[in-house]
Amino acid sequence: MEGEPIIRISGLGKDYLTAAGSVPALQDISLAIYPGEFVAIMGPSGSGKSTFMNLLGCLDVPSGGAYSLNGTDVRTLDRDQLAQLRNAVIGFVFQGFNLLPRANLIDNVALPLVYAGVGKADRVRRAQEMLDKVGLGKYGASRPNQISGGQQQRVAIARALINRPRLILADEPTGNLDTRTSQEIMSLFTALNRDEGITVILVTHEADIASYASRLVRFIDGHLAHDGAVDHEMHGSVGAASSPRKGDGTSVRGEDAAPTAASPRNPR
């Protein structure tokens, strides 16, 4: 850990207002994440993982507490400033890839640069560079439905990288992918973290996926239930049909009946 945290939150909470009343999705979360960390977020369905990621990504506003992103208290920013900070600092990767079906891969990857006001020639050059980086340099003219799910997620990662973010937020990025493809995607995140120092925060249900991270944060019922180092003995079993150990708060355990490597992952 070096210098200032890229994320510092204290007493963060989020209530959703519904017709049936207020739903407390997150309560009193405090933590700091430093540049270069690789953090896995785990917890049962409904425990607040996506809510947390949306707050970190400034896609939603907290109901209470404080949040500093890259040294800036986000409460001091108006909408435009927030969007600017988000675009400058964060790359997002989602479970469903979220690519534009009718645009080719170059245009998909270049899309954030349109919002940033970058000219066409520069956009194409930088998008090509990012496609090269994720191993899809030859497919720039293809459309998303012409490549595999794993390749589509690579394109989404290339798009997330195009503004040279310091931070990648990924919400169940391997949730729709088979085991082998998931491992390839995790290797890519690992390389970005290790070689380029990009901070990675990644939500997963899978113990094997979480074991790529160095720190594990676990939510239960909207509370921070655990925050500590990942037990790297797990790494030996990544991809193997192993049963994660139970009962140790520092080991990475699967949630709802963690699948073995042999069982298919179902898109939810």
**Least distance (Å) between residue 22 CB and ligand ADP:** 9
Which of residues 45 and 263 has its CB atom nearest to ligand ADP in the complex?
45
Using CB under 6 A as the binding rule, whether residue 18 contacts ligand ADP is answered as: yes
Name the binder of 18 from ligand ADP, Mg ion, none, CB < 5-8 A by kind.
Answer: ligand ADP
Using CB under 6 A as the binding rule, whether residue 43 contacts ligand ADP is answered as: yes
Using CB under 6 A as the binding rule, whether residue 22 contacts ligand ADP is answered as: no
Name the binder of 45 from Mg ion, ligand ADP, none, CB < 5-8 A by kind.
Answer: ligand ADP
**Least distance (Å) between residue 263 CB and ligand ADP:** 21
By CB under 6 A, the count of residues binding ligand ADP is 12
**Least distance (Å) between residue 55 CB and ligand ADP:** 10
**Least distance (Å) between residue 52 CB and ligand ADP:** 7
Biggest distance spanned by C-alpha atoms of the chain: 55
Instruction: Figure out which of the listed residues 27, 51, 151, 176 binds ligand ADP, where binding follows CB under 6 A.
Output: 51
Using CB under 6 A as the binding rule, whether residue 45 contacts ligand ADP is answered as: yes
In the complex, the residues that contact ligand ADP under the rule CB under 6 A are 16, 18, 23, 25, 43, 45-51
